[in-house]
């Protein structure tokens, strides 16, 4: 629970501190990624926003400094707040911060006598592992320095799927529940169909993208995109219900509504999705199974789209009786 609250805190800081800075970027702002940013003596900047960079402030920053990872060395003046997440902070004797100093998930700052912070100093030390990863900045997609952005993306993604689950469960409850029940009885065939279909779909998209050079591929690519989106949405929502119903059964609650099961499954899948690497693999497998479910049930309207129809045998009429 503590780690979850910490992630929420990091996400809130990103929204209320970083985004306003980026949205109001001016010529005097400086945004860096894995670089060395120096505000030299006599130089003035409005804002400094960095990801995994080494920041040296010898001059003046009129507003705020926001850093994720890397190092921050201040010997000049910051007119507003300094917010650092996982950064090594060094305050020289001539450093002046006119508002707050916020340090999260990092080691205590190195301070020389004589520095000045006019506002509050907030220090939150994370685990040693988090500090080591954050200190190296943005390394790899799953680095701790990227956690605030990942958290916001996942929360937005969860909200979008929440709306889609409401729509699908409300408009197509029978089809959704039938597709979910099919997965329960034909799991491996569904997985195999989804894997083959997914590979063929990717190949078709690549071919259509190449054909876009001669324009003929543009409508094909758009049609593939619409078809892929429809399959992904219906298949994933059906699996939400599958997981939600399974969870309800485990608590001896077999009666669950289509909407309630879909939302319960969405919550379960979203929680697993927050686990690094494992969550990504889990989501990938769900997407493949969703493709197989949609294709084998024809969007939940038939038992098996690929089942051969039984041959129709005609019985000759009985001979007429004399």
Question: Quick check: pTM over 0.85?
Answer: no
Q: Helices (H), strands (E): how many in the chain?
A: 9, 16
CA-closest candidate to residue 233, choices 152, 155, 162 = 162
Does residue 258 surpass a pLDDT of 70?
A: yes
The pLDDT tens digits for 288-298 are 999 999 888 88
Does residue 307 surpass a pLDDT of 80?
A: no
Does residue 78 surpass a pLDDT of 80?
A: yes
DSSP assigned state of 118: -
The pLDDT tens digits for 25-60 are 444 555 555 578 899 999 998 888 887 788 999 999
Distance between CA atoms of residues 279 and 290, nearest Å: 16
Distance between CA atoms of residues 306 and 322, nearest Å: 48
- For the chain, domain boundaries: 2-14+27-139, 150-297
Task: Supply the pLDDT for residue 116.
Answer: 92
Question: What torsion do the CA atoms of 157, 158, 159, 164 make, to the nearest 10 degrees?
Answer: 90
Question: What torsion do the CA atoms of 233, 238, 243, 248 make, to the nearest 10 degrees?
Answer: 130
Tokens of 70: 């890397």
Task: Supply the pLDDT for residue 25.
Answer: 42
Is residue 110 helix, strand or coil? Answer: strand
């Amino acid at each position: 629970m503590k780690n979850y609250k910490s992630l929420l805190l990091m996400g809130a800081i990103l929204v209320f501190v970083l985004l306003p800075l980026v949205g109001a970027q001016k010529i005097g702002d400086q945004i860096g990624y894995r670089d060395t940013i120096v505000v030299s003596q006599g130089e003035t900047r409005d804002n400094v926003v960095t990801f995994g960079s080494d920041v040296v402030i010898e001059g003046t920053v009129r507003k705020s400094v926001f850093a994720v990872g890397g190092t921050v060395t201040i010997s000049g003046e910051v007119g507003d707040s300094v917010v650092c997440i996982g950064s090594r902070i060094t305050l020289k004797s001539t450093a002046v911060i006119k508002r707050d100093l916020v340090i999260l998930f990092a080691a205590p700052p190195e301070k020389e006598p004589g520095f000045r912070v006019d506002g509050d100093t907030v220090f939150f030390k994370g685990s040693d592992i988090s500090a080591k990863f954050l200190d190296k900045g943005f390394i790899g997609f799953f680095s701790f320095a990227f956690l605030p952005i990942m958290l916001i993306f996942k929360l937005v993604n969860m909200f979008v799927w929440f709306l889609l689950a409401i729509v699908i469960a409300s408009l197509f409850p029978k089809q959704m529940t039938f597709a979910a029940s099919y997965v329960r009885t034909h799991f491996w065939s569904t997985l195999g169909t989804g894997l083959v279909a997914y590979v063929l779909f990717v190949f078709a998209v690549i071919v259509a993208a190449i054909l876009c050079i001669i324009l003929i591929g543009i409508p094909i690519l758009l049609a593939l995109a619409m078809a892929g989106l429809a399959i992904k949405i219906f298949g994933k929502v059906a699996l939400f219900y599958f997981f939600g119903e399974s969870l309800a059964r485990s608590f001896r609650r077999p009666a669950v509504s289509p909407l309630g099961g879909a939302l319960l499954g969405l919550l379960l899948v979203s929680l697993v999705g927050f686990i690094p690497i494992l969550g990504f693999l889990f989501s990938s497998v769900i997407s493949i199974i969703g493709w197989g479910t949609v294709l084998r049930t024809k969007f939940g309207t038939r038992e098996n789209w690929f089942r051969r129809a039984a041959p129709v045998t005609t019985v000759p009429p009985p001979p007429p009786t004399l």
